[in-house]
Structure formats: structure tokens, C-alpha cells
Amino acid sequence: MQEFDVLVIGGGASGLRAAISAKRAGASVGLISKVHPLRTNSAIAQGGLNAPLAKDDSPDSFAADTFLAGDELCDRDVVRAFTQEASKEVIWLERMGVPFNRDKEGRLDLRGFGSNSRNRTCYADDRTGYIVLQVLHEQFQREQIPSFEEWFVTSLVIEGGICVGAIALGLRNGKLDSFSARSIILASGGFTRFYLPSTASLGTTGDGQSLAYEAGARLMDMEMIQFHPLVFPKKQGLLITEAALNAGALIVNHKGESITDLKGMPRHKICLSIHHAMQNGGGGVSLDLRPIGKEKLRGYFPQTQELLRTVAGLDITKDLVPIRPLAHRPIGGIETNAAGETSVPGLFAVGECACNGLNGAGRLAGNTLTEAVVFGRRAGETAAKHATAGPKKSFPAAKVAEEEKQLARLFSGESSKDSLAKIHSELGHLMNEKVGLIRSGTGLQEALGQIQSLKDRYSRLRVKNPSRIYNYELTSYLELGSMLTLAEVVVLAAGARTESRGAHQRADFAERDDTNWKSHTLVSLVGGSGQLQKKPVAAG
Amino acid sequence: MEITFKVYRKDPEKDGKPGRSNYTLELAEDATVLDALLKIRDESDSTLSFRGCCGRGYCGECMMRVNGSARLACTAKVPDYTKKGPEISLDPLRNVPVIKDLVFDWDAFMWNKIKEVKPWLEPESSPVNGENLASEAEMQDLRKVMSCFYCGMCDEGCTVLPVDFKFLGPAALTKAYRLAFDPRNKDSREQVKIVEKPKGIWDCVHCYEADEHCPRGIEPTKRIVALRDRAFNSGITHEAVARHHASFASSVKESGWLDEGRLAVESEGLTNVKGLMKLLPTAAKALARGKAPIPYMHSKRPDADKIKKIFEKAEQEEK
Amino acid sequence: MKYAFYPGCVSRGGCPELYPSAVKVAEKLGIELDELKSVGCTGAGVLPQNIADPINARTFAKAEQLGLPIMTICSTCTGVMAQANYRLKEDPIYREKVNKEFLADEGLEYKGTTEVKHLLWVLFEDYGIERLQSLIQRPLKGLKVSPFYGCYLRRPPEAITPTKELNRRKSYLDELISILGAEMADISGKGKCCGFPILSANEENSLAMVAKHTGESKEKGADFMVTPCPLCHLNLDGNQSRAEAQTGKEIDLPILHLPQFVGLALGFDTNEMNLKRHIVSTTDVESKVSMMS
């Protein structure tokens, strides 16, 4: 058994930041990640980090832009904390070694991005996420924190309503081990892999949210899913940073006509514009990066240039890039407060898997990475404090044996002739069709029924590969389970919100309803099914 | 299109001996090798182990050999590999410990070596508010080096690793460069010291295979050469290498060209009897065939004084 | 065909058989050599760039004064010079700095027009293979030969093989073997490192590389290995017995220099090509060759 004060589950930017700050606050820390930290999705974040560093900028202006992008669903106290701490965090990153782009005076260069009203986005070429991730991993290694890489968490352990740890399967040795901790921080990323196609990676399957949900935590604003407007539509979609639009790229319809000036619009509006252009124009839409110029493309968008060449066979200095809005990342997730605490004592959440009310109904472009480090630091500090306060709950000894039995059941018995990929594919297709950019009551009802039947089919599958060592059939099986659980929650939440706001658009409720819906949706697992609640937006 | 994949297998839970499994399947025209592997695992053989993560060429995880050449499976388009026939062989990388099937030991191959170079910055603890001021040129170079996504191609192409797996390798040494050349790193000198120990920069043969293999033009060999130059110029050098370099430099400085006899002797060290004895059999044979340049009996080139001036000027500039 | 000839240090030091055989072969082929006598060592990748680049810039300037391209007979010289030349050509500000600080007080200036080519490249790119073929007097039929290029003749790409066409430089030696009538005993290490650069730092690895490449060549049935680099020769030939001692396996593979190989095909005998100078005995090769003419 492993014992720590603070256990972090997930090795991306927010998890690493939380682990570092917990360690520096004096706690003993352990980190579990199902892939190596440098392979996590933080690596694909491109555009940059927002911070009100410019002389003509301020936390208030930053907050105003955040509220606007969030379509008035953001919690004020969280936004205030965030906009006040952003600058400090970004400077910290620079001092730890992030080689941000500089202006002529040698200061951090700030560029325009999305619907930010001022230039406030620090960037490192178009690989900002990856470079920030590397520096965080450097500092993580400096702290000598034990790191359990390629370990898959199979359950959270709850004793008397308190989270006391987790059980995980080591892919390399095939063994289950228990991880006892006083504070457990989930930083496990998004869940949009249940949209096919989407911009998600193979493992972006919402395991953390699913575990938290089953442990009794509430999932907030799950209907809010950010679609990215500029995605080259492969099965694993390749996104192009919106900074390209700010730099002069144009979106054109199949006749070559440029779609109305989309620069500076919030993401969901750009997505809808493109969506309508595709519906009405009767043809595809493309991104024209050529106006940016060869020099600037090479200098500022090297990652974009490389990936579109190797994956799509396109030369962005000559070719148009076919694009479509695709599901990108969740805005909703495990409900937390500004300190990262969930409703389950001992359980924390941060980053993509969490929802603390910062983003409301739409994330301001450039806020995600800043969010990961600001709240990562907070969650780590809070978790460390919590770990040293109060008596320790004991980790029930029998849990691993119980988990072994549960796991064994997945291997025993006759498997139906169905396939994981088929179920996943059908799920992915129905989510894109019925829970896409624009939803409707009837569509969502149908979706619910379809998901239920997929769940039945799933329950009749068994894992055929008997090994426990690098058994990716087993992990795929568990991941599909998470996706089915969360898909249902998303549909329930989408069905509940009878209005259109930000990323959630209803054909049957096309207007924003501030009277009834200036609230968050909450879904919790009660008696085996999802129960809905509403929580008013914090006015603070 | 119908394609047969011949995939390397190894089962640590059975006899651990390498084998091969063949799978024939129907694939779409735009399928990648990773698509094929996922299909095999889902429809034919769920015991096949392989890694895949981002699926679109940026994370580095799915590196393997496709028809013998190392590359990412998720960007390897199947039609590109079937020009000579509808068969594709898949193997783990060469010269790495294999755990199971296509899953090889990334820790031994890469992550542990990076840990060895002390891969983090020690920030200056100055009371300055705000960011360190820095030039865009320096930051740009660091960003170039940090675009390394640990795909392992440089280590795969390395000449030394097949002969000596303990060599740190181009990927880890490039990481060391990133930290040694970051002007904000208080410990940059320490960084150089770490990699000049055995199995580090002096074990590199600077054959430029790494530069040829790197898909991002990071030029790992040139980074290693830069580390060596820095080590040398700051007086941090492996003893034998220091003797070798000092002797080389001395003879060129004094005569304009290399006195190999002197180099052989001084590299071992004039008082290193054991080392010098080691050279005797070869030296004797060479002498017998008129092939041994007698140390110190070495003529000066015309214009040797001009070469010496260049040395003096360059050495002064370094200061 | 006239070249500013840069023979390098080793071809008259540790491998004194190389210089005269190269000169004889050039003469037979009708390639005029104007030797650059008052220039310095390239640095061989040992001298740091801040010292080596000015020394090489000076060599280039001297060749430029003669209005001739440079011809080398050593892979290492070629590679080091090509890299230095690439830097000086690509960056006019750097070139200006080097000129001003190091060459100006001698009244020299490098304008960036010099080309550097190894004899092997000269044969294929300037001289012409048909012309070479017409001069072959002793086709080396029945001999099995392994190529060993020497790293610096193949990499880094921007200095050595900057265009698709010049990528062919990676197979010139392979092609030459069949042009001269011999059969190739191909080895996986033909483009890899011989180990010479790490002889001081890590002798064990250096000798292991010698054993690996020569061992493979021997297994493939080669009569000898041919290399365009005298530094490779020093390790593969000079240290072969030490490599044998380290691995406990006999190798006994003669190593020939490129000009010696070409020279034998042009009709020179083994004495004229100074084969007796080598450390690993070449008597087998000598007898096979003498049975040919």
C-alpha cells in the first residue's frame, strides 16, 4: 500500500501544478497518471495564457471579458480570485523557465486572442501548452515526487462519506495497489472522446468525473461543452488555434467567399456561424491561412504547419484547410469551489475535469492554461492544509481484495458477440448528431434511450484478453464505461436547461432565460440514476 | 484495401521469446497504422499490446518501426507502406528493452536518462518583481529545443547506443542543453558538470545521425557539440578528453597542423605508464612499417605563425 | 580539372600511404592539384568552433584567391569544412565578423564562393563516371569489398546533402565498388561511426565499434574494406588488433584507402599504392590483385 498526504490523479498541467504546490506546502505527495505527463492533452493546447499584465489592462477588464464569454453564467467570486491571481502565476511560470515570446524590450509579449478585448495572451510560438507542460514537469521532478506512470485508477475509496484514497492497476506489472491519502485531487482531464469525431485523444474518456460521480460528488454544467470552430475533421481532429484568426486568417465557404468577420467573437458564436454557413451554403467551409504570410506562418505557427503537413498532407502556405466545428473540451465537470474542494470531504478536483464556475457557459480563449495553474496551485495548497488538519481516516484493508473480485468479474463468463469499438462508434455518432452544437428536447430524449440501450449492450461484454499486463482491452473497456455514464449525465443536463446560453443551444428554447436559468445544473447519482438540481450563479 | 500486418509479439507471462502474429484486415484508403492496430485489437486479437495516445502526431507515444523504419504509427498512412505489396511489418524500436509486443520500455530508453541530467531550472532568487527580462533570440532558441516531443528518433538513430545502452543519448543531452543555455538558470554550470561525467557528452561521437533523424530540426548533435564547447571553455572537462583536446590544440597552435604521435602520447598522459605501455604493440608495428609519426619531431607549416595568431585572438575573445 | 588540394594532417602523418597514392591517382586521371601549403588543420571536430571557423575561413579565402574549388581526401576534413562553409555562407553577418577579426590583418577576405569536395564526390560530380570507366585497366572482378564512408562525409544534411540530387552522395562509394568491377559486401554500419572520436574518452566503446563493423564485413565475406577517411582508417586498421583482443574474436580484415582502391583498378600495383604500410596485413589482397593482371 502507498501512503501520502496528498494523492494527485492525472499528470497534465493542472495535476503537476497541484502536486508541486502541495509538496511546497509541506505535504507528502504522490501522483498517478495513466500516461506519462508529457503525453497528456495539455501538450496540444496552443494559443496561450491570459494575464492582465499590460499597463492598460486590469483584473476588472479581464473579468468583464470572462463574464461576456461565459454568457453571464460565471460565479463572481471565482472570477475575481482568478483574474487577481493570473498575473502572479504567469510570472511564476516565466521564472521557472518557460521561454515565452518576448517584445522588443525583453518583456513578455502579449497577443490578441479570441474575444479578449485587449492583448493579454502570453504565448510560446503555437506550442504554449506543451512548453508550459514541460516546465511544470521539470519542476515536478525537482520536487522528487513519486510518480506512478501508466497506472490506471479503478476506483476511489470512500469510508463514512469521506474519500480516503484510491485503488489503481499498474499496467506494467498488472498488479492492483491501494493508495491511501488524506486529500485526493482529481486532475484527470476531459471526456469529449465520446464524440466521434472530436479533438479528443484516445484516452480523453472522463474517468475522473465518472469516479467522482460514483463517489457521490456532483457534476456541474455538464451540458456546457465547448466546440472548437477550427478543426480539421479527422477521427482524432486536428485543431488550429484561434490566434490564427487574430493574425488574419479567414474562414471561407465552398464558393471561396469569406464568412462575416469572425475575429474577436466568442468561440460558440464562431462555431454557430460556421455551422449555419455549412447548413445554408450546402457545402463545406475552409480556413485560409495564406493572408498571414509565409514568414509569419513559419515564425509563429510552426506546430500548426508541421501537424497539418504530417497528418493532413496540407501546406498551409498554399492550401485551404477544410474545417468543421467539433467537440473540444468540457466546460462542465466535477463541482468545486474556488479552492478546488468537491462536495465529498477529502476529494478535490481541478482543471478540465472540474467545474468551479469560472467559465460559465463559455470559456474565454486563453483562460484554460491560466486556469490550470491558478487553480492547480490553489487546489494543491488547500489539499495540503486539509491533509494536515484533523485525524486520519483509516484505509479499509479489504478494499483491494474486493476490487480484485470486481475486476475478475469483467473477465468471467461469456462475452456477447458485440464489440467495444462498435458501441463506442455508435455512441460517438449519436452524441454528435443529437447533443452537438444545437440540441432539441426530442433529440435529447431519443439520445437518452439510445444511450440506455448501448449501456445494456456494454453490460453484456466481457474482457477477452486474460492478461493484466498492458491490457489495453481492459482499459478501453473501463474507459467506455466512464463515457457511457457521462454521456447520460450530459444528456440529462442538456435536457434540463430549457434555454439557449453560450455553448448550450436549444432549437426549441432559442432565447436566453435569465429569469429561470441564471443557474448551474447539477447532476448527482442517487439510487443508481442521475438526479438533477439547480444552483444559482454566485453573485458575490 | 486488404492488408496483412506482421506484428512482433513477446509475452513476458509466457516464455518471453520474440515471435510474430499475422493479421489480415480490410481498411479504408486513408487508414493509418494506428487505425489498423486499433481495429486488430477490437476485432481479431485483443491480446495485442501497443501504445497510442493523441492519434494525431504530436505526443510521441506510438513510436514503432513500420517496415523497419522508426516512425509514429498515427501518422503512418497505410498506402505509403504497401507500394511493394500488401504486407506491413511492425516492430518495437531497435535497441530498446521490450516489455510486451510493441510496448517497449520508455523508462529505460528515455525517461530515466532525462532524470539523470537533473532536468529542472534553479531560478534566481532575486527580489525582482515581474518577469526576467530576456531577449527574443535566446527564448526562440530555447523554444526550438523545447519543441522536442520525446519521440525517440534521435536515440533510435544513435551510433553509440547500440554499443553502449548506458550512454545518455541525444534526447537527454538535448534536455541538458535546454537547461545549461537558459540564461535564467542559476545552476547552468552545474548542468554542464553533470553531463560531462562518463556516459555523457564526451561519449558522443558527433556523427550527426541524431540531426538527420530528428523530425523537428532540433539538431541534437549540434546541441551536444555546444555543450562540449562550453565545457571546454569553462574548464570543465573529463581528464582524458582534456589531455586529448589540449594536445591537439597545442600542436595546431604551434605548428599549424596535427602532430599525431604527440597526440597519442599526450592523450594517455606523459606519466601514465600503463596507458603508454598499451600503445606499444601498435606503435611498434607502425614504426616497422614507416607509419609512425615520431612525437615532437614535427615540422612547422608555412604560415604557422598566422594560425597561432588566430588561436590567440580567439582565446582572448573567450575571456 | 584543377583543384586547390587540401590533403589534411593524417594523410602525411599517421597514414603516410594515403598522400602519395592520392597524388599518383590524380595524376593518372588528369586532375591537376595545386596544393594549399600554408593553411592550418581543419580542427577535425576537436577544436571548438570559435577557433576552427576562422582557421577554415582562411583556408577558403586562400582557395578563393586561386579561383579554385578545394579537393580533400579525408571525410573528416570534408565534413568539418563543409559545416564551416555552410555557416559562413548562410550568415553574411557572421562571415563579415570572422573576416574582420581574423582575416583582415593578413589582407585576406572570404567572399563565400569556395566549394569543398572529397575526391569521391569529384569523381561522380565533376570528373564523370564514364570517363573513369574508360581508364580502368584492371577491373577488380572477384573481389568482395565493404564500403565505409566515415560519418562526416554523409552528415549533417544541410551541409552535405542539401538537395535531393546531392542525396546520392550517400551511395557513391557503393556505386564505385561495382564501377570498379568488384562485388559489394554490404554492411549495416557503412554510414555509421568508426569510433575514432571517442578513443580517448571511451576506448571500450571505440574498439567495440571497430569490432562491430569490421566483424560484420568479415562475416559477409569481404576481402577488404575501403574508406575515404584516414581517421577511420587509423581506428579500423591501426586498432583492429586491440578490438580483436577486447572481443576475443579474430577479424583480420585489411582496410584500404579510397585512392588505393581506385589506383588498383587504374592499373597501379600494390607497391605503388603503398599497401605494405598498413597495420593489418594486406598480403591476401596483394596476391589476389597480382593474379588479376
- Chain B 224-263, CB below 8 Å of chain C: which residues? 225, 228-229, 232-233, 238, 240-241, 243-245, 248-249, 252, 256-261
pLDDT at A393 over 80: no
Q: A2-223+329-388, superfamily in CATH?
A: FAD/NAD(P)-binding domain (3.50.50.60)
Average pLDDT over residues A158-185: 96
- Closest by Cβ to A311, choosing from B47, B57, B120: B57
Average pLDDT over residues A277-291: 88
Three-state SS for A198?
strand
**Domain end call among B200, B217, B234:** B234
From chain C, the residues in CB contact with B235 under 8 A are none
Give the number of residues written for chain A. Answer: 540
A324: cell is: 468543421
pLDDT confidence of residue B128: 66
From chain A, the residues in CB contact with B56 under 8 A are 234, 236-238, 307, 311
| H/E segment holding residue B7 | strand B2-9
pLDDT at A216 over 70: yes
Query: Over chain B, what is the mean pLDDT?
Result: 91
- Closest by Cβ to B282, choosing from C17, C198, C238: C238
How many structural domains comprise chain B? 3
Report the amino acid identity of residue C259.
P
B174: cell is: 538535448
Average pLDDT over residues A483-496: 98
Which residue, among A304, C156, A305, has the nearest Cα to B218 in the 3D structure?
C156
User: Could you tell me the fold of the domain covering A400-536?
Assistant: Methane Monooxygenase Hydroxylase; Chain G, domain 1 (1.20.58)
Q: Are residues B117 and B90 in the same domain?
A: no
Task: Count the alpha carbons within 13 Å of B179 in the hemisphere toward its beta carbon.
Answer: 31
Backbone angles phi and psi of C266, in degrees to 5 = -80, -10
Q: Are residues B94 and B117 in the same domain?
A: no
CATH 1.20.1050.140 placement within chain C: 2-118
Q: Are residues B142 and B84 in the same domain?
A: no
All residue ranges of chain B with pLDDT < 70 are 126-128, 319
Question: Which DSSP string corresponds to C24-79?
Answer: HHHHHHT-EEEE--S-----TTTS-HHHHHHHHHHHHHHHHHHT--EEES-HHHHH
- Rounded Cα–Cα distance for residues B200 and B203 (Å): 6
pLDDT confidence of residue B126: 64
Name A162's bridge partners: A159
pLDDT confidence of residue C68: 97
**What percentage of chain A carries pLDDT values higher than 90?**
85
A209 CB-near residues (< 8 Å, 6+ apart): A186, A188, A191, A219, A333, A334, A353, A482, A486
pLDDT confidence of residue B240: 81
CATH 3.40.50.11810 placement within chain C: 137-292
Q: Are residues B222 and B260 in the same domain?
A: no
Backbone angles phi and psi of A74, in degrees to 5 = -80, 150
Average pLDDT over residues C40-58: 93
Cβ of B12 within 8 Å of Cβ of A106? The answer is no
- Rounded Cα–Cα distance for residues C115 and A172 (Å): 55
Which residue, among C201, B19, B137, B55, has the nearest Cα to A35 in the 3D structure?
B55
pLDDT at A394 over 90: no
Three-state SS for A8?
strand
Give the number of residues written for chain C. Answer: 293
- Rounded Cα–Cα distance for residues C241 and B279 (Å): 12
Q: Whole domain around residue B163: which residue ranges?
A: 106-125+134-234
A184: cell is: 485526493
Question: Which DSSP string corresponds to C242-269?
Answer: HHHHHHT------EEEHHHHHHHHHT--
All structural domains of chain A with their residue ranges: 2-223+329-388, 228-328, 400-536
- Rounded Cα–Cα distance for residues B165 and C148 (Å): 23
Q: How many CB atoms lie within 10 A of CB A161?
A: 11
| Burial class of C221 by CB neighbour count within 10 A (0 to 12, 13 to 18, 19+) | exposed
- Rounded Cα–Cα distance for residues A247 and A70 (Å): 24
The string of pLDDT tens digits covering residues A198-214 is: 999 999 999 999 999 99
**Domain end call among B234, B255, B282:** B234
Q: Which single residue is written with the C-alpha cell 498515427?
A: B74
- Rounded Cα–Cα distance for residues C100 and C279 (Å): 46
C240: cell is: 583492429
Which residue, among A350, A320, A316, A319, has the nearest Cα to A336 in the 3D structure?
A350
Using an 8 Å Cβ cutoff, are A42 and B53 in contact? Answer: no
From chain A, the residues in CB contact with B55 under 8 A are 201-202, 235-236
Q: What helix, strand, coil percent values describe chain B, rounded to 5?
A: 45, 10, 45
Which residue, among C160, C165, C7, C8, has the nearest Cα to C86 in the 3D structure?
C160
From chain C, the residues in CB contact with B313 under 8 A are 54, 101-102
The string of pLDDT tens digits covering residues A398-428 is: 999 999 999 999 999 888 899 999 999 999 9
pLDDT confidence of residue A262: 74
Q: Are residues B111 and B179 in the same domain?
A: yes
Q: How many CB atoms lie within 10 A of CB B116?
A: 17
Q: Which ipTM was obtained for this model? A: 0.94
The string of pLDDT tens digits covering residues A319-373 is: 999 999 999 999 999 999 999 999 999 999 999 999 999 999 999 999 999 999 9
The CATH number assigned to the domain holding B44 equals 3.10.20.30
Three-state SS for A432?
helix
The yes-or-no reply on A/C contact (3 CB pairs or more, < 8 Å) is no
- Chain C 87-106, CB below 8 Å of chain B: which residues? 101-102, 106
- Rounded Cα–Cα distance for residues A129 and B149 (Å): 12
The yes-or-no reply on C/B contact (3 CB pairs or more, < 8 Å) is yes
pLDDT confidence of residue A540: 62
Cβ of B56 within 8 Å of Cβ of A237? The answer is yes
The vertex-A229 CA angle with A224 and A230, nearest 5°, equals 140
pLDDT confidence of residue B278: 79
CA torsion sign for B168, A149, A187, B51 is positive
pTM, two decimals, is 0.93
Q: Are residues B229 and B257 in the same domain?
A: no
Report the top-level CATH class of C137-292: alpha beta
For chain A, say whether B46 makes contact (Cβ under 8 Å).
yes
Q: Are residues B208 and B114 in the same domain?
A: yes
pLDDT confidence of residue B283: 81
Distances (CA, A) of C15 to A120, C72, C151, C152: 64, 15, 19, 18
| Burial class of B215 by CB neighbour count within 10 A (0 to 12, 13 to 18, 19+) | middle
* Beta strand ranges found along chain C (DSSP E): 2-6, 32-35, 70-72, 116-118, 144-147, 183-184, 224-227, 255-257
Which residue, among C46, C205, C54, C53, has the nearest Cα to B232 in the 3D structure?
C46
User: Could you tell me the fold of the domain covering C2-118?
Assistant: Glutathione S-transferase Yfyf (Class Pi); Chain A, domain 2 (1.20.1050)
Query: Over chain A, what is the mean pLDDT?
Result: 94
Three-state SS for A239?
strand
For chain B, say whether A129 makes contact (Cβ under 8 Å).
no
The string of pLDDT tens digits covering residues C67-96 is: 999 999 999 999 999 999 999 999 999 999
Q: How far is C157 from chain B (nearest CA, A)?
A: 6
- Rounded Cα–Cα distance for residues A327 and A526 (Å): 28
Name A147's bridge partners: A31
Q: Residue A385 — pLDDT band, cuts 50, 70, 90?
A: very high
A94-112 as b/e: b if 16+ CB within 10 A: bbbbbbbbbeeeebbbbbb
For chain A, say whether B56 makes contact (Cβ under 8 Å).
yes
For chain B, say whether A183 makes contact (Cβ under 8 Å).
no
C6: cell is: 587540401
* Beta strand ranges found along A276-320 (DSSP E): 285-288
Q: Which single residue is written with the C-alpha cell 534553479?
A: B122
Q: How far is A530 from chain B (nearest CA, A)?
A: 30
The string of pLDDT tens digits covering residues A236-265 is: 889 898 888 888 999 998 888 888 677 778
Helices of type H across C141-239: 157-160, 172-179, 203-219, 230-233
Q: Are residues B80 and B147 in the same domain?
A: no
Using an 8 Å Cβ cutoff, are B82 and B148 in contact? Answer: no
Average pLDDT over residues A120-144: 96
Report the top-level CATH class of A228-328: alpha beta
The DSSP call for residue C277 is G
Backbone angles phi and psi of C166, in degrees to 5 = -75, -10
Which residue, among B163, B166, B190, has the nearest Cα to B179 in the 3D structure?
B190
- Rounded Cα–Cα distance for residues C253 and A364 (Å): 69
The CATH number assigned to the domain holding B226 equals 1.10.1060.10
Using an 8 Å Cβ cutoff, are C224 and C285 in contact? Answer: yes
Using an 8 Å Cβ cutoff, are A111 and A246 in contact? Answer: yes
For chain A, say whether B2 makes contact (Cβ under 8 Å).
no
